[in-house]
Structure 1
Protein backbone atom coordinates (compact mmCIF):
# COMPACT_ATOMS: atom_id res chain seq x y z
CA UNK A 1 0.00 0.00 0.00
CA UNK A 2 2.83 2.39 0.84
CA UNK A 3 4.52 1.64 -2.49
CA UNK A 4 1.41 2.77 -4.34
CA UNK A 5 1.36 6.02 -2.41
CA UNK A 6 5.01 6.64 -3.27
CA UNK A 7 4.34 5.86 -6.93
CA UNK A 8 1.43 8.31 -6.89
CA UNK A 9 3.71 11.02 -5.51
CA UNK A 10 6.36 10.27 -8.16
CA UNK A 11 3.80 10.40 -10.98
CA UNK A 12 2.46 13.67 -9.57
CA UNK A 13 6.01 15.08 -9.48
CA UNK A 14 6.60 14.04 -13.08
CA UNK A 15 3.34 15.56 -14.33
CA UNK A 16 3.92 18.76 -12.34
CA UNK A 17 7.43 19.11 -13.79
CA UNK A 18 6.08 18.61 -17.31
CA UNK A 19 3.37 21.19 -16.70
CA UNK A 20 5.96 23.76 -15.61
CA UNK A 21 8.18 22.86 -18.58
CA UNK A 22 5.34 23.46 -21.05
CA UNK A 23 3.84 26.58 -19.47
CA UNK A 24 6.95 28.56 -18.43
CA UNK A 25 8.94 28.86 -21.63
CA UNK A 26 10.16 32.45 -21.28
CA UNK A 27 13.24 31.88 -19.13
CA UNK A 28 15.92 29.29 -19.70
CA UNK A 29 16.61 28.97 -15.96
CA UNK A 30 13.02 27.94 -15.18
CA UNK A 31 13.12 25.40 -18.01
CA UNK A 32 16.36 23.92 -16.67
CA UNK A 33 14.96 23.72 -13.15
CA UNK A 34 11.83 21.94 -14.37
CA UNK A 35 13.96 19.48 -16.35
CA UNK A 36 15.98 18.73 -13.21
CA UNK A 37 12.73 18.21 -11.32
CA UNK A 38 11.61 15.72 -13.98
CA UNK A 39 14.96 13.91 -13.75
CA UNK A 40 14.57 13.76 -9.97
CA UNK A 41 11.12 12.21 -10.28
CA UNK A 42 12.43 9.64 -12.77
CA UNK A 43 15.25 8.85 -10.33
CA UNK A 44 12.74 8.24 -7.53
CA UNK A 45 10.66 6.05 -9.84
CA UNK A 46 13.70 3.95 -10.73
CA UNK A 47 14.61 3.69 -7.05
CA UNK A 48 11.14 2.41 -6.14
CA UNK A 49 11.07 0.04 -9.11
CA UNK A 50 14.48 -1.46 -8.38
CA UNK A 51 13.75 -1.81 -4.68
CA UNK A 52 10.41 -3.48 -5.38
CA UNK A 53 12.00 -6.26 -7.43
CA UNK A 54 15.22 -6.54 -5.32
CA UNK A 55 17.44 -5.64 -8.26
CA UNK A 56 20.92 -4.14 -8.35
CA UNK A 57 21.20 -0.37 -7.76
CA UNK A 58 24.08 0.09 -10.20
CA UNK A 59 21.76 1.51 -12.84
CA UNK A 60 20.89 4.39 -10.51
CA UNK A 61 24.54 5.44 -10.41
CA UNK A 62 24.71 5.47 -14.21
CA UNK A 63 21.49 7.49 -14.32
CA UNK A 64 22.90 10.01 -11.83
CA UNK A 65 26.08 10.40 -13.89
CA UNK A 66 24.07 11.20 -17.01
CA UNK A 67 21.76 13.59 -15.16
CA UNK A 68 24.75 15.49 -13.72
CA UNK A 69 26.24 15.77 -17.21
CA UNK A 70 22.89 17.07 -18.47
CA UNK A 71 22.76 19.65 -15.68
CA UNK A 72 26.31 20.84 -16.33
CA UNK A 73 25.59 21.20 -20.04
CA UNK A 74 22.43 23.19 -19.31
CA UNK A 75 24.28 25.52 -16.94
CA UNK A 76 27.04 26.11 -19.50
CA UNK A 77 24.42 27.02 -22.11
CA UNK A 78 22.79 29.37 -19.59
CA UNK A 79 26.09 31.07 -18.76
CA UNK A 80 27.04 31.52 -22.42
CA UNK A 81 23.58 32.91 -23.19
CA UNK A 82 23.79 35.42 -20.34
CA UNK A 83 27.29 36.49 -21.41
CA UNK A 84 26.28 37.07 -25.01
CA UNK A 85 22.77 38.48 -24.59
CA UNK A 86 22.67 39.80 -21.01
CA UNK A 87 19.62 37.80 -19.89
CA UNK A 88 17.94 34.44 -20.27
CA UNK A 89 14.80 35.49 -22.15
CA UNK A 90 14.08 33.47 -25.25
CA UNK A 91 12.42 36.42 -26.98
CA UNK A 92 15.48 38.64 -26.68
CA UNK A 93 17.57 36.92 -29.36
CA UNK A 94 17.00 35.68 -32.86
CA UNK A 95 17.97 32.24 -34.09
CA UNK A 96 19.07 33.69 -37.43
Structure 2
Protein backbone atom coordinates (compact mmCIF):
# COMPACT_ATOMS: atom_id res chain seq x y z
CA UNK A 1 0.00 0.00 0.00
CA UNK A 2 2.81 2.41 0.83
CA UNK A 3 4.55 1.74 -2.48
CA UNK A 4 1.41 2.79 -4.34
CA UNK A 5 1.38 6.09 -2.46
CA UNK A 6 5.11 6.49 -2.96
CA UNK A 7 4.82 6.25 -6.74
CA UNK A 8 1.76 8.48 -6.71
CA UNK A 9 3.50 11.31 -4.82
CA UNK A 10 6.77 10.88 -6.67
CA UNK A 11 4.88 11.32 -9.94
CA UNK A 12 3.60 14.62 -8.54
CA UNK A 13 7.14 15.58 -7.59
CA UNK A 14 8.54 14.79 -11.02
CA UNK A 15 5.71 16.63 -12.76
CA UNK A 16 6.59 19.69 -10.65
CA UNK A 17 10.25 19.19 -11.53
CA UNK A 18 9.37 18.97 -15.22
CA UNK A 19 7.33 22.16 -15.04
CA UNK A 20 10.20 23.85 -13.17
CA UNK A 21 12.61 23.07 -15.98
CA UNK A 22 10.21 23.79 -18.83
CA UNK A 23 8.64 27.07 -17.63
CA UNK A 24 11.62 29.39 -17.78
CA UNK A 25 9.79 32.46 -19.04
CA UNK A 26 8.30 33.82 -15.81
CA UNK A 27 9.71 33.79 -12.30
CA UNK A 28 6.24 33.34 -10.79
CA UNK A 29 5.63 30.08 -12.67
CA UNK A 30 8.93 28.68 -11.41
CA UNK A 31 7.99 29.63 -7.85
CA UNK A 32 4.64 27.86 -8.28
CA UNK A 33 6.34 24.71 -9.49
CA UNK A 34 8.77 24.80 -6.54
CA UNK A 35 5.85 25.11 -4.12
CA UNK A 36 4.11 22.21 -5.87
CA UNK A 37 7.22 20.10 -5.35
CA UNK A 38 7.36 21.07 -1.66
CA UNK A 39 3.70 20.11 -1.21
CA UNK A 40 4.25 16.75 -2.88
CA UNK A 41 7.19 16.04 -0.55
CA UNK A 42 5.04 17.11 2.41
CA UNK A 43 2.19 14.75 1.48
CA UNK A 44 4.65 11.91 0.90
CA UNK A 45 6.22 12.45 4.32
CA UNK A 46 2.76 12.66 5.89
CA UNK A 47 1.69 9.32 4.43
CA UNK A 48 5.04 7.74 5.34
CA UNK A 49 4.86 8.95 8.93
CA UNK A 50 1.22 7.89 9.34
CA UNK A 51 1.82 4.37 8.03
CA UNK A 52 4.91 3.87 10.19
CA UNK A 53 3.28 5.31 13.36
CA UNK A 54 5.83 8.07 13.86
CA UNK A 55 5.22 11.43 15.46
CA UNK A 56 4.12 14.21 13.17
CA UNK A 57 6.18 16.97 14.83
CA UNK A 58 8.67 16.94 12.00
CA UNK A 59 5.91 17.98 9.60
CA UNK A 60 5.31 21.15 11.61
CA UNK A 61 8.98 22.10 11.20
CA UNK A 62 8.88 21.22 7.51
CA UNK A 63 5.77 23.35 6.94
CA UNK A 64 7.34 26.24 8.86
CA UNK A 65 10.44 26.21 6.69
CA UNK A 66 8.44 25.80 3.48
CA UNK A 67 6.23 28.80 4.38
CA UNK A 68 9.33 30.86 5.11
CA UNK A 69 10.80 29.76 1.78
CA UNK A 70 7.61 30.76 -0.03
CA UNK A 71 7.48 34.15 1.66
CA UNK A 72 11.13 34.77 0.81
CA UNK A 73 10.53 33.83 -2.83
CA UNK A 74 7.54 36.15 -3.08
CA UNK A 75 9.46 39.03 -1.49
CA UNK A 76 12.29 38.55 -3.97
CA UNK A 77 9.71 38.44 -6.78
CA UNK A 78 8.13 41.72 -5.63
CA UNK A 79 11.50 43.46 -5.33
CA UNK A 80 12.54 42.26 -8.80
CA UNK A 81 9.26 43.44 -10.32
CA UNK A 82 9.67 46.84 -8.69
CA UNK A 83 13.25 47.22 -9.86
CA UNK A 84 13.00 45.69 -13.37
CA UNK A 85 9.33 46.19 -14.29
CA UNK A 86 8.26 42.58 -14.91
CA UNK A 87 8.96 38.98 -13.93
CA UNK A 88 10.37 37.89 -17.28
CA UNK A 89 13.78 36.28 -17.05
CA UNK A 90 14.82 38.07 -20.24
CA UNK A 91 14.49 41.45 -18.48
CA UNK A 92 16.99 40.55 -15.77
CA UNK A 93 20.57 41.60 -16.27
CA UNK A 94 22.84 40.08 -13.67
CA UNK A 95 25.43 42.82 -14.12
CA UNK A 96 22.86 45.39 -12.98
CA UNK A 97 22.00 43.75 -9.67
Which residue of 2 is the match for residue 28 of structure 1?
A: 27
Q: Structure 2: state its 5+ residue gaps.
A: none
Matched residues in 1 for 2:93 and 2:10: separation?
36
TM-score, structure 1 length as denominator?
Answer: 0.94
Query: Is 1:64 the counterpart of 2:69 in the alignment?
Result: no
Q: Structure 1: state its 5+ residue gaps.
A: none
Q: After superposition, what is the alpha-carbon deviation per residue over 1:10-60, rounded to whole angstroms, capped at 9, x for unaligned?
A: 011000000000111111000000000000000011101111110000000
> Which structure 1 residue ranges, 4+ long, deviate > 6 Å from structure 2?
none
User: How many residue pairs are counted as aligned between the two chains?
Assistant: 95
TM-score, structure 2 length as denominator?
Answer: 0.93
RMSD of aligned residue pairs (Cα, Å): 0.9
